[in-house]
Structure 1
Amino acid sequence: MKTPYLTILFCLIYLTAFAHQGTLQGFVYDAATKTPLKGASVHIAGTDFSAYTNDLGEFKIKNIDPGNYQVQISFIGFQSVIQSFKISDGETTSLTFNMTNGSIDLSEIKVQAPNTHTQQLISQIDIKLRPVNNSQEVLRMVPGLFIGQHAGGGKAEQIFLRGFDIDHGTDISIMADGMPVNMVSHAHGQGYADLHFVIPELIDNVAFKKGPYTAEKGNFATAGWVEFQTKDVLDRSFMKAELGQFDTYRALGTFDLLGDKQNRQSAYIAGEYNFSNSYFDSPQNFQRINGIAKYNAKIGDNSIFNASVSHFWSKWNHSGQIPDRAVESGLISHFGAIDDKEGGLTSRTNANLKLTTKTADGDIIKNQLFYSNYNFELFSNFTFFLVDPLNGDQIKQKEKRNLFGYNGSYSHTGYIGSKTLETSVGISYRQDVTNNTELSRTINRTTTTSALMLGDINEMNMGFYLNQTVNLTSQISLNASIRYDWFNNQYLNLLTAHQGKAHAGIVSPKVNLYYAPVKNIQLYVNVGKGFHSNDSRAGGVPLVVEQKGKDILPAAYGSDLGVNWKPIPKLYINAAAWYLWLKQEFVYVGDEGVVEPSGRTVRKGIDLTIRYQLANNLFFDTDLNVTKPRSIDEENGNDYIPLAPVFSSTGGFTYRKSNGWNGSLRYRYLGDRPANEDNSIVAKGYFIADALVNYTKSRYNIGLSVMNILNTKWKQTQFATESRLKNETEPVNEIHFTAGSPFFAKLSLTYYLK
């Protein structure tokens, strides 16, 4: 009978103790733009108390003993702030910080357990040190991610990451300002992700995570996910002009429309035009237009509203993939073409509305509505005269799409003593509706000889997640979450009048544990399940329908064991050993209009990332990635995964100053890799070095960038393809490639209007 009384007495003592403690809360803003800084580090000197700011720039630390303290606010690229404050019995102390731009100092990076699941240390460092200079560089911000362009700059890049040839986005989820970039059931292939509608200079931050460990990310997030946030507020207006070799031109203008940031609202517009004939023998006549208008306002004291509209248009010719034998025989040059009538046209118009609100209890509610109108037409010839010896094998892939959806979340922060308990729930919805998604055989882009596929796609995806992070101790943080996705796929075949339907759901649990045994060392274990959906046209396969659609959502199971370590203040190291297993799936091959089964696969590897500040303005970085990808269901020796990278590395030196001379010297290396299942055909690796030099003053910047400074002859993309040239009697299976850029220099001038 004594036990209940002892428990009540203990609780009274516990609550009484905390009744005499206080709270520190506050906001952190960018002094130039008056926008909140999300992810700023808050640390009370001489204690274990720390926190990170949320989407509204807010932080709160509870249960602090009465006394006098100092709090340090730090954020990469901003001057650290230290301020004294006092905690009184049972009272709340409120502070506001306006941070100004400053030099980058890696000693400010904190390696600690609290709230670590949402932190993006590497991306914060890299986006400040290595501003993106062109659209291709956008995705290279992710350590270990390689890209290849094989359509003259107009098509989405081919992506390689963690032992995957991801094609154009099948196993990586890509978002921009919360909108999905990946296109489900795309005319060219599942997950097609064209990011060229993002203007590089407007990127504010890049978030990413490798593996299927994040509850907020659903479809395609198997090898990982990447999310780009563009600037909500323009710190100053500027105009930029670029002039390069191979008839390359670019003009960009960004204009702040309201000027005064003190009035709690801002707006800007930006426009971009690109043209290039590129380095191929056949002029590419590449053109791209981008435009965006964005409005941001603080509504009352607790809400931020953001609205944007953007339009992207691109048109180009390209030389496609060419066979080794045609170059070796002298039929064409390394930069030549077999069919120079390839090319395409694409456009995307986006509308995006976001509202972030803090409730009276301090909870965060996010609501987002988005819409995209998308058009795509691509002409390609991969096999030349293999199928049609008379007219050639040119194909057309075309679609018109409307994409719309909603993202919503509710986040609550509770406290157990001085420890935080963060809970969030979310819902996502997207609907993709296409008209006349087409695959046809054509001649010279004008004459259609046969229709291979033609139909309408209607695909819906609903997602729900529950996510919880708890700081078990000052050294241990645990994140656990579960996600459920439901798909309803429909495909109306306009050639046969047959309508195929499939629906399925999938549950994806995830657990992430972080442990900081001593200062500046953090160990972590990530375990999770993810998936990528299959093309809706695979829903018409009898096997899928008979099994009630369960194979349209093949699962992926992953685990990471890693460490974040700062052995000295200005050296940051991340290392991880990882494993990823994928279930059997059906893959729609958009180039042929067929569905192929793909067996189970396993990938495992080691990632190493190093960021080192050699001097005040001199930085070194490198990423090393070793991978062993294999097919499980194939016999030894025939179990290689075509084009999957096995070793890659990127890195370089950066000299960074806000005024005067600055620049970088960078490299990227991709090792040899199998091009077919038995490794009898090898895709050759390459080593490429690039350089950038800038001279910056308060009102202007002059820059010179040089790609491939060693003028290396290399193959940017490679495929083992069976093809036949016009005068050949038998087909040949060998490497077909798109040439990488030779030495390419480009000058730029940026003028700041204020």
Structure 2
Amino acid sequence: MWISPLVLCLLSAAAEVPVSPPVPLEAAPPVMPADAPVLPAPATVLLRLTIDESGEVSRVEVRESAGAVFDGAAMAAALRWRFQPARRGEVPLEVQTDVPVTFTPPAPVAEAAPAASPGEREGKAGEGPSFSTTVRGRAQAPPPSAVGDFQISVGQLADVPRNSASDLMLLAPGVMLANHGGEGHADTIFIRGFDAGEGKDVEFRLNGVPLNEVSNAHGHGYADTYFIIPELVDSLRITEGPYDPAQGDFGVAGTVEYQLGLKRRGLTASASAGSFGSRRLSLVWGPPESSEATFVGLLLRQGQGFGPNRAYANAGAMAQVELRVGEETRLRLFGTSYAARFSSAGVVRETDVVDGRMPCSADADSQFFCLYDANQGGAGQRHIVSAELQSRLRRGGRFVQQGFLVVRQMRIRDNFTGFLNDVPPIGESQRGDNTEQYYRGTTVGLRGRYSPGLTLLGQTQPLELGYVARFDDVITRARRLRDHGGAPYSTLFDNQVRTTNLGAYGSLRLAPLSWLTLRGGLRLDTFLFGVEDQNRPASDRQGTRIPEESIEAYGFFASPRLTAEVRLSPQLIWLTSAGLGARSSDAAALSDAEFAPYARVTAAETGLGWNLGGEGRAYELEARGALFATRVSQDLVFDETAGRNQPVGPSQRLGAFGTARFTLEHRLDVQASVAWARATLPVPGASPWKVWDGTVMPYIPQLLGRLDASVRGDISLAGLPLGWNLALGHSAIGPKPLPLDRYSEPIFLFDVAARARWKWMDLGLSVENLLDARWHEAEFNYVSNFRGPDAPASLMATRHFAAGAPRTFRGTLTVYLDLQEELP
């Protein structure tokens, strides 16, 4: 008996791109099964292997079977093979291959010869398969759960000017960010026709760790991503809509997961300075002998801001190490610490700016960037530790187990209405509406998923099971502050909240026909809320009482989700998806023994995905487009009186998007998108099928466009070889509906950057808001009184806005040290 050498054939689609094939490092031959039947002729199993960027066999599929006994032996051997990964230039590739594994009958033996030993049945010692390779890069797969499920590699588009990792979300269609709170305040997210606040309708994760904060005083679901170091973001997965069973709480409009990694090894130091006293220093290091999952990063930022009371300072560190624990198991340890302080100018009345009544110089710019209340801003701290164990099982199965701990504290002060809401003691003046919102919380939890590696209808790993267990212990409160001195004079709410979330899901993938793939599953979530309300009255109708009260509530929700994929051609697919999602209740709004109400979302979309090129070619073009509709049982809209989002009843959306990305080697990367969405409050009693009827919801732009582009090249200047780069970012934002049938002005912003590189040094210049537009980053329409505590308040609503940044310059020097290979 002997086992023939394996032949590894990865078909190359273009020889013009320099691609190096994977090199086998460990490739022991398979073992002839002890219970194998007598072979009258050679038996061949054809396997399809997926070799990932680290050189490991991440998936094995049986393309042609030789029987269950031989299939299992061939798959077990393939999962133990190790490779030096395939590379295009210096970039590791994930590749696929069809590998024939042949089992042959034993050679004839003499009558007196002894039976072969188990060791002899494996072949000669040290003899393994030989490989002949031609490389084919794996084509970018269509979205796994919906057309709007985007696995976004940042890549060359990191050259486009961005202030933080939050801005990377603009690479998904239909996303707009706004920030009225200052450099360090979480962004308000507009996505898929939702005003998702600072996280109420978008689930955020960082390497699997949840970032949304339950019952935050500033807003349920508040999620600040400003602490993430942009240089360490390798990719994002943005799933628009609730179509993946793995999506959990707050995944109403979608889920955003940041995936960290550092491709460039060695030490990279970057220092920048720019307009308004801005300074930035980043240090990132990846040990050359380790994988991209091992890194350390440090980021320091400071500046005076583009107007009065906009200064900021923050610092953060992130580190991760990947360790091998046994032959089939990896352990990733991750940690980050962050602290920030920032001031905010808040909002101003447009009429006061136009009439020159602001308490600043009389010139137009001073009036535009002025403020009323200097006691606005905030501070925060965040610390995260996480441990993730990844194990590869027999027959391609996988088991991932993660534990995490998050410690968070923040305080935000803002004033939206001036002197309007306070009811002062008799004979005293208004004390002001400045609101302090405080949150301190500890989150501890476990996440896990298991793929047993089954084969069903010719599909490997069709089943995935997962769970989440999360506990939050939170102190959350809101107080009114005096206009003079900032001392608190009234408590709006003061709660200690303990929440336990237990969730589980199962998903299944089947391909009953060669052109049809079905994916779907069911998710179950339960919540137990315990609230200590520490702001109850000291007396009631029955007499004095303790000003505290305990509240407990329980909630349960089931979310089925399904996607059908029809492959119309090798490059064109049609996907249709439908699913239910949910947002948990803000514990501060619950009653004792209540069955906690969820905000339920019903969503559906259908669209096309098209891919051309890739697979080793010099270029790749990917395009997608879809129509979608959603309905939410209980939506939230910003309320200026409370300074946070408040319930408004059911809402609905109808929309569409289109996006395309074109890459040409390492020279050109262009992505463009356009999205339209109409969000309305349905007419009471109207049919749920009429998703276009009703009152238009305020503050949500109906039309959004975005362009990101980067081009790189090389020149020789005075005999010196130089690399260069030009980048452009452009946002177009249509008019936003405001209350009382008003609309905001459209916004057009352009950001540009240029860079020159010589050996280990890189010089760059970026300009944001190139045309120096005077634009409103946030805009509202309501009643306020900023004229003083004794001034009569007008009952007429007027526009309020937070000013957007003017033209901003920034110069950057980057130095690359300890490199083991030439820079691309």
CA-to-aligned-CA distance 1:163-195 (integer Å, 9 cap, x gap): 111111111111111111111110100111101
Counterpart secondary structure, 2:658: strand
Q: Tell me the equivalent position of 2:747.
A: 686
Alignment-derived partner of residue 149 in structure 1: 179
SS of the counterpart of 1:413?
coil
**Structure 1 counterpart of 2:228, from 191, 195, 198:** 198
Q: SS at 1:139's partner residue?
A: helix
Q: Which moved more, 1:229-238 or 1:406-415?
A: 229-238
Q: Residue 633 of structure 2 aligns with which residue?
A: 583
Instruction: Tell me which amino acid in the other structure corresponds to 2:341.
Output: K
Alpha-carbon shift at residue 266 of structure 1 (Å):
8.0
What one-letter code is carried by the residue in structure 2 that aligns with 1:130? A
Give the Cα–Cα distance (whole angstroms) in 2 for the partners of residues 561 and 194 of structure 1. 31
Partner of 2:72: none
**For residues 588 and 500 of structure 1, what CA distance do their matches in structure 2 show?**
26
Partner of 1:665: 728
Q: How does 1:23-62 map to 2 (within 5 A)?
A: 23-25=47-49, 27-29=51-53, 35=54, 58-62=58-62
Q: Percent identity?
A: 21
Return the match for 1:209 from 224, 239, 262: 239
Flag the 1:304–1:442 CA change in 2: closer, same or farther, 3 A. Answer: farther
The answer on 1:277 being equivalent to 2:304 is: yes
- What's the offset of the Cα at 1:233? 7.5
After superposition, give the CA deviation of every residue in 1:371-421 in whole Å (9 maximum; x if it has no partner).
111111111111011124633211111121111111011112322464335
CA contact (8 A) 1:349 1:372 kept: yes
Out of 681, 687, 697, the position equivalent to 1:641 is: 697
**Residue 704 of structure 1: how far off its partner (Å):** 1.2
Distance 1:109 1:611 in 2: 17
Q: Is the 8 A contact 1:296 1:306 kept in 2?
A: yes
Q: Would you say 1:368 and 2:402 are equivalent positions?
A: yes
Of 431, 435, 450, the match for 1:410 = 450
Aligned residue among 264, 273, 286 for 2:312:
286
Between 1:84-93 and 1:393-402, the stretch displaced more is 84-93
Q: Residue 276 of structure 2 aligns to a residue in which SS?
A: coil
- Within 2, Cα distance between the matches of 1:586 and 1:664? 38
In 1, Cα distance between equivalents of 2:96 and 2:506: 37
Confirm or deny that 1:718 pairs with 2:779.
yes
Offset at residue 327 of structure 1 (A): 0.6
Amino acid paired to 1:557: T
1:720 deviation in Å?
A: 2.0
Map of 1:49 onto structure 2: none
Q: Which amino acid aligns with 1:479?
A: R
Query: How many residue pairs are counted as aligned between the two chains?
Result: 693
CA 1:383/1:97 → structure 2, altered by over 3 Å: closer, same or farther? farther
- Indicate the residue corresponding to 1:549 in structure 2: 595
Partner of residue 351, structure 2 = 325
From 728, 744, 747, give the equivalent of 2:811: 747
Gaps of 5+ in 2: 1-38, 67-82, 105-121, 123-127, 359-366, 423-428, 537-547, 614-618, 687-691, 715-721, 819-824
Mean CA deviation greater in 239-248 or 327-336: 327-336
Q: Is the contact between residue 373 and residue 415 of structure 2 (CA under 8 Å) also seen in structure 1?
A: yes
Letter aligned with residue 498 of structure 1 = E
Inter-partner Cα distance in structure 2 for 1:455 and 1:629: 33
Query: 1: distance between equivalents of 2:323 and 2:639?
Result: 45
> In the alignment, residue 47 of structure 2 is paired with which amino acid?
T
Q: Which amino acid aligns with 1:276?
A: G
Please state how far the C-alpha of 1:143 moved relative to its aligned partner.
2.1
Report if aligned partners of 1:116, 1:514 keep a CA contact under 8 Å in 2: no
Alignment match, 1:87: 100
Q: Which residue of 2 aligns with 1:110?
A: 139
2-structure distance, mates of 1:719, 1:239: 41
Say whether 1:393 aligns with 2:433.
Answer: yes
* TM-aligned CA deviation for residue 218 of structure 1: 0.8
Aligned equivalent of 2:119: none
1:249 to 268, 279, 301: 279
| Residue in structure 1 matched with residue 566 of structure 2 by the alignment | 515
Aligned position for 1:379: 413
Q: Is the 8 A contact 2:394 2:453 kept in 1?
A: no
SS at match of 2:589: helix
Q: Distance in 1 between matches of 2:292 and 2:575?
A: 41
**Amino acid of the residue matched to residue 724 of structure 1?**
N
Deviates more, 1:343-352 or 1:353-362: 353-362
* Paired AA for residue 207 in structure 1: R
Q: Is the 8 A contact 2:149 2:239 kept in 1?
A: no
Give the secondary structure class of the aligned counterpart of 1:336. Answer: coil
- Pairing 1:625–2:638 present: no
Q: Distance in 2 between matches of 1:329 and 1:630?
A: 34
SS of residue paired to 1:645 = coil
For structure 1, the 5+ residue unaligned runs are 1-14, 30-34, 37-55, 101-106
Partner Cα separation in structure 2 for residue 525 and residue 196 of structure 1: 34
Match for residue 650 of structure 1? 706
1:191-237: CA deviations, max 9, x gaps? 11101121110111111111000111111111111100112786221
Distance in 2 between residues matched to 1:586 and 1:97, nearest whole Å: 60
Deviation at 1:83, TM superposition (A): 9.4
User: Partner amino acid for 2:787?
Assistant: K
User: Whose Rg is larger?
Assistant: 2
CA distance in structure 2 between the aligned counterparts of 1:307 and 1:96, rounded to whole angstroms:
35
Structure 2 residue aligned with 1:573 = 623
SS at structure 2 position matched to 1:480: strand
**Alpha carbons 1:290, 1:310 under 8 Å: kept:** yes
- Choose from 344, 347, 355 the match for 2:378: 344
How far is 1:661 from its partner? 0.7
- C-alpha displacement of 1:347: 0.6
The TM-score normalised by the length of structure 2 is 0.78
Cα 1:222–1:121 change in 2 (3 A) is closer
Q: For the residues of structure 2 that align with 1:685 and 1:753, how far apart are their CA atoms? A: 45
Instruction: Give me the TM-score of the superposition, normalised by structure 1.
Output: 0.85
* Aligned with 1:437 (options 437, 452, 477): 477
Specify the SS of the correspondent of 1:138. Answer: helix
**Out of 700, 705, 712, which is 2:766 matched to?**
705
Residue 564 of structure 1, CA deviation: 0.5
Find the residue that maps to 1:712 and give its secondary structure.
coil
1:275 is displaced (CA, Å) by 0.4
Deviations 1:64-112 (A, max 9, x none): 489xxxx997899937698987514359998999999xxxxxx967366
Deviations 1:316-363 (A, max 9, x none): 111001111111111231111011221111110111111101123431
Counterpart Cα distance in 1 of 2:464 and 2:446? 17
Distance in 2 of aligned mates of 1:266 and 1:220: 28
**Counterparts of residues 170-319 of structure 1 (less than 5 Å):** 170-231=200-261, 235-256=265-286, 259-261=288-290, 267-280=294-307, 282-319=308-345
Judged with a 3 Å threshold, the aligned counterparts in structure 2 of structure 1 residues 171 and 26 are, in CA distance, closer, same or farther, namely closer
What is the CA-CA distance between 1:28 and the residue it aligns to? 2.5
Equivalent residues of 1:77, 1:128 under 8 A apart: no
